[in-house]
Structure formats: C-alpha cells, structure tokens
Amino acid sequence: MKTHVAVVGAYGSAGVVVAERLADEPDVELTLVDDGDPGGGLCILEGCMPSKELLTAAERRFAAREDDRLEGPVPNVDFERVVEAKDENISTYAAGRRGHVEELSEREDVTLRRETATFLDERRLAVGEDVLEPDYVVVATGSTLNVPPIPGIEDVPFQTSADVFDTTAFPDSGLVLGLGVVGLELVPYLAEAAGMDLTVIEQLPEVLPDADPAFGDELLAYYEEHFDVDVRLDTETARLETTDDGGVRAVIEDGDTVAADELYLFTGRKPALDSLGIEATGLTPEPGWVEDTMQARDDERVFVIGDANGAEPILHVAKEEGAVAAENVLRHRDGEPLESYDPITHRVVFSGLTELPYARVGHTAASASEAGIEHVVATRHVTAEGVFRSRHYEDGLAKLVVGTDGTVLGYEGLHPDADVMAKTMQVVVELGLDAREIPDRAYHPTTPEIIDGLLIDAVDELDG
C-alpha cells in the first residue's frame, strides 16, 4: 500500500522541494495543494525577486547623485517602466514555477489540487469538496503580513511592500513602521527614487539586532546621511489616526506626534496558518512547536517547513527544510532515525539600495562567546582598502571570527559586494577551513581583497 503525503503550499520554495523529492518515490501517493492566485511562491511574487527590480533602478540614480566626478542633472526613475519590467519578469518566473509543479503532477500517483486545504481533525484534511486522510501532511503555506496591534491601525489605510512594488506615483511624505529587513531595503527606495520625506519608527533599540553592534551603527549613520531619513529607534507607537487631509498621524509613547501623507507597514511577516483550521487539531503554533526534524511537536505525522514554522524566514532555509522534511517523511514511514536540521546562519540584507548590503555567515563574536568557543576577531574598514577607495566607496566594514585553532567560524560584511562574498564565506565556514590554509590570491582591483586582509589579520593574531 502506498504512503499518501499531502503537501499544502506546493508552489512555494519549500513545498516544491518536497514535491520534487517525493514525486520520484514509487511507493508514495502525492497530493499537491495550493490555492495561490496565480501561484508561484512568495519570493517570486512579493518578495526578494520583485524587490530587486526596484532597488537596482534607484541604485543607478543614487550612484549618479553621489558621485562628484559626474556632471549634469540627476536622472529620475521611470516608475511606469520599473513596474512594467518587474511584472514581465515576475510573470515569467512564476509561470516557470507553476509549470514545473504541473509537470510533476503529470507523474503517476501525483495529483495537483488548486484549492484550499483545511484540517477537519488530526487525521482528515478537507480539500475543496473532498476529504482526504493522508498518512503525512507537509505544511508549507508561507507567511503573511504581520499587522501590529496598534490602537487605531484598523482605521488607517496603509501600504505594504507588495503595494510599493506596484506603485507608480508617490506622495510627498511617508511614515514607516519597521526597520527590519523589509524596511532596510525599501526605505532607501522611497527616499531616493520617490524623493519622499520619511520618518521611520522602529521599536527595537538597534538596527540589525543579530549583528555586531558596529554594523547597525554604521548602517544607520549611512541612511541618515545619504537618504536624509529621520529614524527613531527604541520607539513605541501608542496609536494611529487619520488626519483631516487624509494622511496619517502617529502618536508616540512620549506624547510626540508624527504626521505624513502615507503609512507604510514594514513590520515583518508571520506564518500563514489562519485558513488551515489548526484549531481542529492538537497543534499549537507557538515558539518551539516545530522540532529540528521539521516535525510538529504535537503530531509526528505533520511536518511544517519554510516561513510557515516561523523559525527562519529565508529562501535557502526553506529549501533546505523542504529537503529534510521529505527525507524524514520516508524515514519515519520506514522506522528509521530522523535527520535533524541545524543550519549555519547565512543571511543577506540588500540594504543601501544594494550599494551597501549586509551579509552574515556563521558566528558573530557574541554568538561564538555564547557558545563557549575561544576565538579571535579581525576587523577591516572600507577606508583602509585601496580597492574600495579607487572605486570611490567610503562606507562599510567587515569582521572575521576565527577559532583559536584556526577554524574560520564566521564573517560579517557591510560593504559593496558583501552579498556576493557571502557564498565564498559560506563555503569557508561550512567546510571548517583553517584561516592559515586559505590561499591569499585576490586579483587587484577586486573588492574581495578585504577577505584576504581579514585572513591575514586573523592569522597574525593567532600567531602573535
């Protein structure tokens, strides 16, 4: 008898990996469920891919405005063309994803249902008008906007990142709530491309809270200097209200007020579970509700992956979780020990219009200390690197964390091309390479020379 597996959210980055793996299993019956319209996954439709269309257009303008070697008027961003190009590309990417899933569904014992799935109880799943009783359910429903419970927010219109992606005309001023990843990427776009007067309110006391504090400080100073935005950290919004002219006013906890033409909600995302009927099961979505095997803590036959589990809402993590979940479904069925997923941190924020991206791979100095690992730290600033000066870059820094045995434990970069270097440093960290054995071979003038400098400094510290 075949093992029946239902994948809810089959078009997303996590769900499609499960589908690919299990579609090849001859003794698995696979039901792929997705009610997305048109379907294609968050990253493709409303996330990292459309955002790059906007950021790169604004980055071209920013570069022309900032470079004192150039003369002439600063060009304007053609929003109509930006949105048109974004729509064309996203349509192609999403169609490719849908086509791939539909090809999988043409295989024997694989069915695609373009409908909503809802739990009726621990064992039964309603899909359209049918009731399924799969042996395993993989939940890969992604995430949705996190709307904070601020008094008055239900009465104030707001724009989300998805709205910004489609906007071709902007007001003069904006109030932004949230300076996490989404805010760090889109605030410069609104300031640079649209020329908006922005006030940003962030309840956390720092930018990039998981980074070494120097990186958040550097990035915040960069934003305030180059994009002329008013950032208020460690600030709570007491309530929101509309103004007489149709704008928005935020009343801050200390009684101060901030008014603007438009409210932008960049307050992060939360697992998209509301339509699943979780309350009909024994599942309790809360911190720790999904094990490192991707199994739900309260039901060993339910696996929750990607943004849906709320652990690490990052594309590559979602894919890896999908691979682990698919393998563990088969292992659990066969009574074999399950695999655990414990990824090395690998994050990239396309801050500063991709001109000043932040990347982290592995440990920071703080996390290494918390783990009880003895280490040394090497730090380099962009201004100390000739290649950056010759390319007229003045902002940014990088740090390398190396164990006292020479093992490279982690890298942080906030500088041009830090996002590109993240892959190289991922290989170095995940393979546990020794800083003394990594070749010193950069081809001048290339920005990865900063990595060579960090390695040299770290080795000198170890050998000194």
Nearest-Å Rg of the Cα atoms of the chain is 24
Give the tens place of pLDDT for each residue, 230-259.
Answer: 999 999 999 999 999 999 999 998 889 999
Q: What is the CATH superfamily name and number for domain 357-463?
A: FAD/NAD-linked reductase, C-terminal dimerisation domain (3.30.390.30)
- Candidates 3.30.390.50, 3.50.50.60, 1.10.10.10, 3.40.640.10; correct CATH number of 3-145+270-333? 3.50.50.60
227-232: average pLDDT: 95
In whole angstroms, give the CA distance from residue 433 to residue 2. 44
In whole angstroms, give the CA distance from residue 128 to residue 136. 18
The helix or strand, by DSSP H or E, that contains position 104, with its residue range, turns out to be helix 79-105
Share of the chain above pLDDT 90, in %: 89
* Contact call for residues 198 and 173 (beta carbons, < 8 A): yes
Quote the Cα angle for 381-382-384, to 5°. 75
* Contact call for residues 9 and 33 (beta carbons, < 8 A): yes
Give the tens place of pLDDT for each residue, 356-399.
Answer: 999 999 999 999 999 999 999 999 999 988 889 888 899 999 99
Give the tens place of pLDDT for each residue, 45-94.
Answer: 888 889 999 999 999 999 999 999 999 999 999 999 999 999 999 999 99
Give the tens place of pLDDT for each residue, 105-146.
Answer: 999 999 999 999 999 999 899 999 999 999 999 999 999 999
In whole angstroms, give the CA distance from residue 252 to residue 235. 7
* Contact call for residues 19 and 10 (beta carbons, < 8 A): yes
As to burial, measured by CB atoms within 10 angstroms (0-12 exposed, 13-18 middle, 19+ buried), residue 392 is exposed
Token pair of 298, please? 């309260």
* Contact call for residues 339 and 293 (beta carbons, < 8 A): yes
In whole angstroms, give the CA distance from residue 366 to residue 307. 26
pLDDT band at 442 (very low <50, low <70, confident <90, very high): low
Spatial neighbors of 238 by CB under 8 A, at least 6 apart, are: 150, 151, 251, 252, 253
Q: What is the DSSP string of 3-15?
A: EEEEEESTTSHHH
For the chain, give every residue range classified as CATH 3.30.390.30: 357-463
**pLDDT beyond 90 at 438:** yes
**pLDDT beyond 70 at 355:** yes
**pLDDT beyond 80 at 441:** no
DSSP state of 174: E
In whole angstroms, give the CA distance from residue 188 to residue 284. 38
Q: What is the DSSP string of 410-434?
A: EEEEESTTHHHHHHHHHHHHHTT-B
CATH 3.50.50.60 fits 153-267, yes or no: yes
For the chain, give every residue range classified as CATH 3.50.50.60: 3-145+270-333, 153-267
* Contact call for residues 149 and 240 (beta carbons, < 8 A): no
Mean per-residue pLDDT over the chain, rounded: 95
The helix or strand, by DSSP H or E, that contains position 318, with its residue range, turns out to be helix 315-333
In whole angstroms, give the CA distance from residue 435 to residue 193. 42
The helix or strand, by DSSP H or E, that contains position 197, with its residue range, turns out to be strand 197-201
Give the tens place of pLDDT for each residue, 295-326.
Answer: 999 999 999 999 999 998 888 899 999 999 99
* Full-model pTM: 0.94
